[in-house]
Amino acid sequence: MNMITFSARRIGFALVTSLAFVSLTAVPSQAAAKIQHLVSPGGIEAWFVQDATVPLIAMEYAFGGGAAQDPADKSGTANMVASLMDEGAADLDSKTFHERLERRAIELSYNAARDYFRGSLRMLKDNRDEAFDLLRLSLTEPRFDAVDIERIRNQILSGLRRETSNPGSLASRKFLEIAFGDHPYSRSANGTLTSVPTINIDDIKAYKGRIIARDTLKIAVVGDVDPATLGKLLDQTFGALPAKASLTPVADVVAAKPPQKVFITLDVPQTVVTFGSPGIKRNDPNFMAAYIVNHILGGGTLSSRLYHEVREKRGLVYSVSGSLLWMEHSGLYIGNTATRADRATETVDTVNAEVRRMAEEGPTQTELDEAKSYLKGSQMLALDTSSKLASALLQYQLDKLPIDYIEKRNAIVDAVTLDQAKTAAKKLWGDGLITVVVGRAPQAAATPVVPVPKAN
């Protein structure tokens, strides 16, 4: 999956103690196998690949909502809920619940992405009944014990305090604030040092009650289970959930227009640069052309233009890359790099020059052909385990792609023309970049200075 979801990382994931389980997750799954649209007896739908290569089942699931549903004054609510959903359920307290998971080598976790409240479940085939039952309990009867709430709150606050001196975190937060203003996408999914202490048990229960419902549920399953058995498990696990969620409407938004540049003073060894521009939504007809030109410009490979110009040619940085981020209501292009304070200005200028050149000239036919070849060849490598395939199938559903998208993808890549690629490049980068620089003062000349915000 090539989307950065700004997800709030789960704190205290269930540990996997079985070496056998770990080794099984590395065995390639049958990515090319037929994807079934399974409908359970109770009407719960899932995309499903039956794969008996190894006795393993991987399931990914998501509910609409995510961090964008946080109350405006209580950012981080979704993250807290995600961090608490596997901290005990029904008559099992946190310690007992985790012991049950670990004893059977079951992985169960939740995270709050920008638009979705997501979860993962992985188990050995022999432990599927207990795994699905523990998931059912966590969804329908989470305990939200006061002692667990305060422990998780303190862990989150500790992480937020560390972020106040982390240049990458400061740059990302400021970039989102500039890009999205007062839209929910501008708020950190982790919350703030001000908001997290105010989130109480009523907020947690209210969020869970509004979000966890069947009408927005998407499920992907890959593994050693037959369709009839899986249908029964899905009904037992999700069937008792409320029929409908109660989501607050979120407006579509276009990121702020470049160029804009902000400098944040922070005494750190390396200066961090975050740069970007308005992106493109996943349902845009020109999405694949934009995806390809992003790969050519700075898609994380050693052959990208940014890597060649900024690192190989000038030795300014160790790494530099950019990505397209697509969300339900917007899109972004965002890139990152880091360099010495005395070379930050040269680094920013070089990145801007390469982005401008791509916008004005577009890629060459050779670059386009090579990018297509790479993206087609790497697709199956990105789906070489049950877990990866399940994650991809869930994402395709969230992106509203057809069930046979894997089969069609290479043809879609091949169909992109040079003119379409040039048009996409101009649309993405024709106005320049929003740039946030965090580091020591020498490179601050002639740029707005924003002091590091005090912990709040």
Q: Where are the domains of the chain?
A: 19-238, 260-451
Q: What is the mean pLDDT of residues 217-233?
A: 98
Query: Quick one: the chain helix, strand, coil %, rounded to 5?
Result: 45, 20, 35
Q: Which residues pair with 233 in a beta bridge?
A: none
Q: Same topology for domains 19-238 and 260-451, yes or no?
A: yes
Q: Which of 399, 394, 417 lies closest to 331, judged by CA?
A: 399
- Look at strands 218-223 and 45-50 and give their pairing: parallel
Higher pLDDT, 274 or 301: 274
Query: How is residue 123 written in tokens?
Result: 């188990």
Residue 445 predicted with pLDDT over 90: no
**Tokens found for residue 423:** 């048009």
Say whether pLDDT at 381 is over 70: yes
pLDDT value of residue 13: 28
pTM of structure: 0.89
Indicate the SS3 state at residue 265. Answer: strand
Residue 241 vs residue 444, higher pLDDT: 241
Hey, which residues does 39 pair with through a beta bridge?
A: 45
Residue whose C-alpha is closest to residue 362's, from 418, 305, 422 = 422
User: Could you tell me the CATH superfamily of domain 260-451?
Assistant: Metalloenzyme, LuxS/M16 peptidase-like (3.30.830.10)
Hey, what CATH topology would domain 19-238 get?
A: Cytochrome Bc1 Complex; Chain A, domain 1 (3.30.830)
**Residues 440, 265 contacting (CB under 8 angstroms):** yes
pLDDT score at 24: 35
pLDDT above 50 (res 449): no
- CB burial of 419-453 (b: ≥16 within 10 Å; e: otherwise) equals ebbbbbbbbbbeebbbbbbbbbeebbeeeeebeee
Q: Each residue of 281-339: pLDDT tens digit?
A: 999 999 999 999 999 999 877 889 999 999 999 999 999 999 999 999 999 999 999 99
What are the CA-CA distances from residue 255 to residues 83, 295, 334, 425 (Å)?
A: 29, 21, 11, 17
Q: 276: helix, coil or strand?
A: strand
Question: In the predicted model, what is the mean pLDDT of residues 389-410?
Answer: 96
